Amino acid sequence: MNCISPGPFPIDGMVPEEMVNRLSNKSPMKRIGRPHELKGALILIASDTSSYITGQNIVVDGGWTAW
């Protein structure tokens, strides 16, 4: 079993701009995630490429948990 842990990926217009700004300032990349940036991790887990990967949590958070 593998999983993906996304960082902040609020949907445009669904959250206040102030919240997006606060989240952006807390990220090393100084922005929030974009939905297409999850594709790589999703494709890896869904494909045979990950056939020998097990018990992993792939963090896609722009470095949020790095500091």
Q: Please, what are the averages of pLDDT over each run of 10 residues along the chain (67 residues)?
A: 93 88 92 94 95 96 88
Write down the pLDDT at residue 13: 80
Burial label for 50, CB within 10 Å (0-12, 13-18, 19+), is: middle
The whole-model pTM stands at 0.82
Inter-CA distances, 25 with 18, 21, 42, Å:
11, 6, 26
Query: Any idea what DSSP says for residue 58?
Result: E
User: Is the Cβ–Cβ distance between 50 and 58 less than 8 Å?
Assistant: no
Q: What is the pLDDT of residues 39-50, one digit of tens each?
A: 999 999 999 999
d(CA 24, CA 32): 5
The residues spanned by each domain of the chain are 3-66
